[in-house]
Amino acid sequence: MCGRYTLRLKAEEMADQMGLPFVDGDQWEASYNIAPSQMVPVVVKDPYRQIRLMQWGLIPHWIKPRDGAKTVQAFINARSETAAQKPAFRDAFKRKRCLILADGFYEWSRTKQPYFFARQDQGLMMFAGLWSSWTSPEGEEIQSCTILTCEPNAMVAQIHHRMPVILQRTDRLAWLDKLTVEQLIPMLKTYPAEKMVSYAVSRAANSPKFNDPQFVERLEQGRLF
């Protein structure tokens, strides 16, 4: 799974790099420790390409709270191999796909040691994502998203059995277009290990309550690659 990641760019930097408007960028602050339920930047085509903030944790549009419940189930990840068939994701897979912007992600060893994974050039990653718009019983609209995951590459596999789908440059914009499931599935492949770096970082990153630049600094004694 992918349960924590980073996006260290400011809103104006993202808009400039992507060449897209960030419609609610004034509400975004760069983060070294993004956790589920937080608002995160995603690229959607609705109806034109734009960057928008959404809640991390997809709420299917059809779901209803159980009697007396104050919350509904939200899905932070979806398996890429089955998302097109699962009831929670299949509608979004067909009609509401997005790019979830990141520049690194964390995974934890069995000893709870966090490792940071990023591109070798430290550039933007674009996770394949799905999104949904859900209306609460009180009439509040919540737009939410989930990260698609896949089998890990050799680097990530040393720490975890899943990793986010990091789209190749040639597939990023196509992921947002009106394509068939058969056209989309080949895009959901494992990102090459040789294009990534990984290393151990401070255990302070273990808590989603904290957010600090030190979280992406290398601990040499815990070096992985």
Which residues are marked as active site?
2, 107
Task: Name the 3-class secondary structure at 32.
Answer: strand
> What is the Cα–Cα distance from 17 to 169, expressed in whole angstroms?
14
Task: Name the 3-class secondary structure at 196.
Answer: strand
Q: What tokens appear for 192 in the block?
A: 């090459």
